[in-house]
Structure 1
């Protein structure tokens, strides 16, 4: 599962990336959550719960992990190993939001670049984000949509789609220690707030 979540890049193995990038990202997210007093967080594209695990074990937040893969959702509760974490799919999230659930913050790390319809996914995420809630995104300057002929850049701008819907708080270059050079050149992270 780790190899699907973090692919080897530029001579950096999945394990090396997991070890160096996870604490870096968790630190960025945790600081934002503390600054904004977030209690309930939605991790979109949580996979096995790489960041969810860090969040629930290093703070008092509750995390709802959302992933398209049923196998990832099945593995996530065991990997995260915390009572304040649950995993569901997009349909489960939509049902919770329709029933009135609102989360204080959301995160999406290396996910939106791969979505076929990123505008739809951003709308899905922000539908349950409370007013004033923070959305933390890590992505690339270009898209990498999976096709049967490899990754394709369809030209859509994730940052542009976010700016159309939310208030930009900050954007900075992705600078995880020992991260692959390609990611350091093309990666970014940003925070947006729902009006």
Structure 2
């Protein structure tokens, strides 16, 4: 019986510890080892038992395998119940604090990449996009929007395209000071444009501040994509549009040497699932082949 396997998996304190951590963060084995201070073989054994019980899911991304709790299916209520019972345990809260430090290390790697890449980012993008212009995919859907946020605006290429059209108010957000400086050099002074520094997982924006938000080749740089999508939902007004373009999942680790990134793209099911769990209504999906045998996928969702 499946339930017996699940209860056996939950009968070990270490596995409860892992389940609680992975309810909050998706981690690879090396990161988990650093958090719980156990040998890798022991961690892997416990992960295998939780996986076989259907309490965890895993995904391969390049040379790493990442683990998280199962957010779908019949086991979801059991996982949520267990984690609610554990939430006040002091030792587990210490684990969460250490896990947050792992996430900070990931983000710092991304920031170092953009600090070096910012002056040549437009050229680097062209190496993988060729002549394809993702901004042209966005534009037809933004005609009726009056306040637009470009999240992960980079060097301001999309903002430059929109600036001056129908008195639209534009907000650009990026975590990299160096990328924002490139955007300031590119963009003219305008009372309708504001650039803000901040993380996509913690947007420096008010609730329901905009009626359209876009992310162009940004999500694959974000350590916690679903959290970023929840933030988009928060800042969009009811009926607002979310326009997302990102890479379809691939196995070309070397692409990170050109355009960086935490993820090697995403499956349609991954992004569709995140959008659905957040509350978005997915309206349209379309894919476009680009250079290096890569594919960009466009998602149009509505709050």
Q: TM-score, normalised by structure 1?
A: 0.75
Bigger Rg, structure 1 or 2: 2
Specify every segment of 5 or more residues in structure 2 that has no aligned partner in the other structure, as ranges. Answer: 1-117
Superposed, 1:11-50 pairs within 5 Å as: 13=127, 17=130, 20-22=131-133, 25-34=134-143, 37-50=144-157
Contact between 1:40 and 1:63, CA under 8 Å: does it hold in 2?
A: yes
The size of the alignment, in residue pairs, is 176
Q: Is the aligned partner of 1:4 residue 2:158?
A: no
Contact between 2:241 and 2:301, CA under 8 Å: does it hold in 1?
A: yes
2:284 maps to 170
Contact between 1:26 and 1:55, CA under 8 Å: does it hold in 2?
A: no
Kindly indicate which of the two structures has a greater share of residues assigned to helix: 2
Shift in alpha-carbon separation, 1:80–1:142, aligned structure 2, 3 A: same
Query: Does the residue aligned with 2:167 lie in a helix, a strand or coil?
Result: coil
Shift in alpha-carbon separation, 1:150–1:136, aligned structure 2, 3 A: closer
Q: Distance in 2 between matches of 1:39 and 1:53?
A: 16
Displacement over 6 Å in runs of 4+: 143-147
Q: Distance in 2 between matches of 1:111 and 1:78?
A: 21
Q: Distance in 2 between matches of 1:94 and 1:150?
A: 19
Specify every segment of 5 or more residues in structure 1 that has no aligned partner in the other structure, as ranges. Answer: none
Aligned counterpart for 2:226 among listed residues 113, 119, 137: 119
- RMSD between aligned residues: 3.2
Shift in alpha-carbon separation, 1:153–1:94, aligned structure 2, 3 A: closer
Query: Does the residue aligned with 1:42 lie in a helix, a strand or coil?
Result: strand
- Range that drifts further, 59-68 or 124-133: 59-68
Query: Does the residue aligned with 1:96 lie in a helix, a strand or coil?
Result: coil
Contact between 1:114 and 1:146, CA under 8 Å: does it hold in 2?
A: no
